Structure 1
Amino acid sequence: MSTPQITDSHCHLDFPDFDDERPEIIARALDAGVRRMVTICTRLRLEPQVRAIAEAFDPVFYAAGTHPMSAADEPLATVDQLVSLAKHPKFVGIGETGLDYHYTAESAGVQKDSLRVHIEAAQDTGLPLIIHARAADDDMARILTEGFRAQPYTCVMHCFSSSAALARAALDLGFYLSMSGIAAFPKSQELRDIFAAAPVDRVLVETDSPYLAPPPHRGKRNEPAYTAHTARVGADVFGLDYADFATQSEANFERLFHKVAKYKAAA
């Protein structure tokens, strides 16, 4: 019986944690049924290295933006810069961007400026916005909603682990929630309940590797193959067979990351 196929919608394959065995890591992902990976560039000056990984490996696509925790240390991105990058056939999303007041509250002002630039780029390109949100729920909901009312766009709340209120605000805009290894932690029942209340056709899965490895690998380096562990938890949350949840999450991914689906069709 064939392994159900899923996609790791958010990982960081350019991080030095993977330098010594990138081909092997991608091979292990494929063996686990993780047929595609979106690797995320968090500092635009590193975009060439991230793009090179996507170009070197058929299952890998990429996105780029300025991570909110880096917003004060990097030049402010421009809409034109992001739109230009988006012309690459394997560039499939804008970000990650967002707000992080847990670690970097002192740079809230520039984080908001950066976020608005990325929202405009998502509006201009039609590519999904990839959001990192931590300890900034009210500002996050307000800015995302203001931008959407000005001009609709699509978005995924990556590695979602915020409040039920932010989840509802995002879902009400038609956005998606992405389930990471955090949702598989034993003490994350409240988070699993938030996902259970979401429409199953608005949920993605990811690793955020090398971080946040799900059980049974918790505390170790995460990698895309482990998306399967989180997806099994997702199946349990929605009361679905794993194969059915995998099929649903793939449909969700291709609906949001439409450029990946078109690339597959053209290949």
Structure 2
Amino acid sequence: MLIDTHTHLDSHKFDSDRVEVIERARAAGVYKLINIGFNRETIQTTMALAEQYDFIYAVVGWHPVDSIVMLPEDLEWIGSLCAHNKVVGIGEIGLDYHWDTSPKDVQQRVFRQQIQLAQQKRKPIVIHNRDAHEDIVRILREENAKDVGGVMHCFSGSWETAKQCLDMNFYISFGGPVTFKNARIPKEVLSRVPLDRLLIETDAPYLAPHPHRGKRNESAFVRLVAETAAEITGKTLEEITRITTENALKCFSIE
């Protein structure tokens, strides 16, 4: 029984066959999914999915690329949603220095605000990090994010960065890119992550694993990530499935 800990099934890329995509995930052994709402539109559609399906949970937050448009009432809204029994975390939040849509200082302010909100609501946080490793680690440390912990989503950094995040109570999550043949560093990092801190995800519809690279990703493909993790760690698929599922349930406090 697999858990896809990071997916976007509410994406418009699934508008024509969303029900079938969810059914394929279930048929592939994915028995729980965590959908991410990261702005005004997707928070609403994520909540709708979580309320429609008993096996879909919600993580809600404000993505760094949209930091420039977040209003105080948006932060209050995210906080109010934390009382919902299907909301299991705040995210994806963090920093993205690749896309030049929100100034770095604005991204960092919004990031800090949401870490503080997570501490108030006692929710784990899901971190988006693109080209911002040093600032991510520094802000997590300065804001005492270890108090709530969470997930380094689709981790792409070095082992040194991973170790710093592990020391702050974070799980390290791997998606499709770790299956790529040229993914030397992600494979090396996965091999060194303690098994009790390992998670898997798809980030569907993005970052499809091999052999679907370049195509639309979907939650059923999390099994391919699990197979790669098993190969790298020398565990069986069944062992990796059990380990990552137990980790996800613990991280997000899901019964």
Indicate whether the TM-score tops 0.5: yes
SS at match of 1:104: coil
For residue 105 of structure 1, report the CA deviation from its aligned partner.
7.5
For residue 123 of structure 1, report the CA deviation from its aligned partner.
0.9
For residue 104 of structure 1, report the CA deviation from its aligned partner.
2.7
State whether residues 10 and 49 of structure 2, in contact with CA within 8 Å, keep that contact through their aligned partners in structure 1: yes
- 2:191 aligned residue (187, 193, 196): 196
Residues of 1 paired with 2:74 and 2:54: CA distance? 29
State whether residues 8 and 37 of structure 1, in contact with CA within 8 Å, keep that contact through their aligned partners in structure 2: yes
Q: Which amino acid counterpart does residue 120 of structure 1 have in structure 2?
A: Q
Residues of 2 paired with 1:29 and 1:216: CA distance? 17
- 1:50 aligned residue (46, 53, 60): 46
Residues of 2 paired with 1:147 and 1:195: CA distance? 26
Q: How does 1:1-267 map to 2 (within 5 A)?
A: 5-75=1-71, 80-104=76-100, 107-148=103-144, 152-258=147-253, 260-261=254-255
Residues of 2 paired with 1:217 and 1:27: CA distance? 19
For residue 58 of structure 1, report the CA deviation from its aligned partner.
2.0
State whether residues 61 and 78 of structure 2, in contact with CA within 8 Å, keep that contact through their aligned partners in structure 1: yes
Report how many residues are paired. Answer: 255
Relative to structure 1, the CA distance from residue 214 to residue 46 in structure 2 (aligned partners, 3 Å threshold; closer, same or farther) is: closer
State whether residues 134 and 162 of structure 1, in contact with CA within 8 Å, keep that contact through their aligned partners in structure 2: no
Q: Which amino acid counterpart does residue 168 of structure 1 have in structure 2?
A: K
Q: TM-score, normalised by structure 1?
A: 0.91
Residues of 2 paired with 1:175 and 1:52: CA distance? 28
Name structure 2 gaps, 5 residues minimum: none
State whether residues 77 and 117 of structure 1, in contact with CA within 8 Å, keep that contact through their aligned partners in structure 2: no
Instruction: Determine what percentage of the aligned residue pairs are the same residue.
Output: 37
State whether residues 78 and 117 of structure 1, in contact with CA within 8 Å, keep that contact through their aligned partners in structure 2: no
Relative to structure 1, the CA distance from residue 19 to residue 105 in structure 2 (aligned partners, 3 Å threshold; closer, same or farther) is: closer
SS at match of 2:26: helix
Residues of 2 paired with 1:119 and 1:170: CA distance? 15
State whether residues 97 and 118 of structure 1, in contact with CA within 8 Å, keep that contact through their aligned partners in structure 2: yes
Residues of 1 paired with 2:119 and 2:226: CA distance? 30
SS at match of 2:5: strand
**Superposition RMSD on alpha carbons, in Å?**
1.6
For residue 224 of structure 1, report the CA deviation from its aligned partner.
0.3
Q: TM-score, normalised by structure 2?
A: 0.95
Q: Which amino acid counterpart does residue 144 of structure 1 have in structure 2?
A: L
Q: Which amino acid counterpart does residue 104 of structure 2 have in structure 1?
A: A
For residue 125 of structure 1, report the CA deviation from its aligned partner.
1.6
Name structure 1 gaps, 5 residues minimum: 262-267
SS at match of 2:205: coil
